[in-house]
Amino acid sequence: MKKHILLFALAILTITNVTSQNKEITKKEKKVVLKLISENLLESYINLDLAKQMSSAIKLNSKKYSSISNPIEFSEILTADLQSVSKDLHLNVRFEPKRIAQSKRLMSDEMELEMEKKMAMKMAEVNFGFTETKILDGNIGYLNLRMFADIKYAEEAATAAMNFLRNTNALIIDLRTNGGGDPSIMQFLSSYFFDETPVLLSDFYERKTNTKTQLFTLAQVQGTRYTNKPVYILTSSNTFSAAEAFTYILKYLDKAIVVGEVTKGGANRTKRINLNDDFTISVPYIESIHPITKTNWEGKGVQPDIKTFEKDAFITAYIEAINKTVERNKNKVLNKIGYTFLQDKSVENAIIVFQENTRLYPKEANTWDSLGEAYFTNRDKANALKSYTKALELNPNSESAKAMIQKLKNIN
> What are the residue boundaries of the structural domains of the chain, listed by start?
2-103, 128-266+301-312, 327-410
Phi (first) and psi of residue 234, to 5 degrees: -90, 135
Nearest CA to 187 out of 198, 177, 172 is that of: 198
Is it true that domain 327-410 has CATH number 1.25.40.10? yes
| Residues 233, 215: Cα–Cα separation, whole Å | 21
Could you write out the DSSP letters of every residue in 323-379?
A: HHH--SSHHHHHHHHHHHHHHTT-HHHHHHHHHHHHHH-TT-HHHHHHHHHHHHHTT
Q: Are 401 and 391 in contact (CB under 8 A)?
A: yes
Maximum pairwise Cα distance, the chain: 88
Q: From CA 384, how far away is CA 25, in angstroms rounded?
A: 65
**Distance (Å, whole) CA 217 – CA 219:** 7
pLDDT at residue 318 in the model: 98
Q: Do domains 128-266+301-312 and 327-410 have the same CATH topology?
A: no
CATH class given for the domain over 128-266+301-312: alpha beta
Residue 278's contacts (CB-CB under 8 Å, 6 or more residues apart) are 20, 23, 25, 29, 71, 95, 96, 97, 100
- The answer to whether 25 touches 69, Cβ cutoff 8 Å, is yes
Q: How many residues make up the chain in this entry? A: 412
Distance of CA 49 to the CA centre of its chain: 30
Choose among 15, 243, 43: nearest CA to 144.
Answer: 243
pTM: 0.88
Beta-strand relationship, 306-307 and 279-289: unpaired
pLDDT of residue 22: 64
Distance CA 323, CA 339 (A): 18
Spell 317-348 as b/e; 16+ CB within 10 A means b.
bbbbbbeebbeeebbebbbebbbbbbeeebbe
How far separated are the first and last CA of the chain, in Å rounded? 79
What's the confidence (pLDDT) of residue 21?
A: 52
45/284 Cα distance (integer angstroms): 6
CA 56 to CA 53: how far, in whole Å?
Answer: 5
Which run of H or of E encompasses 214?
strand 211-216
pLDDT in the model for residue 114: 79
pLDDT one digit per residue (tens) for the chain, 412 residues: 333 333 334 333 443 444 455 689 999 999 999 999 999 999 999 999 999 999 999 999 988 999 999 999 999 999 999 999 999 999 999 999 998 998 887 767 777 787 788 888 888 899 999 999 999 999 999 999 999 999 999 999 999 999 999 999 999 999 999 999 999 999 999 999 999 999 999 999 999 999 999 999 999 999 999 999 999 999 999 999 999 999 999 999 999 999 999 999 999 999 999 999 999 999 999 999 999 999 999 999 999 999 999 999 999 999 999 999 999 999 999 999 999 999 999 999 999 999 999 999 999 999 999 999 999 999 999 999 999 999 999 999 999 999 999 999 998 7
3-class DSSP assignment, residue 245: helix
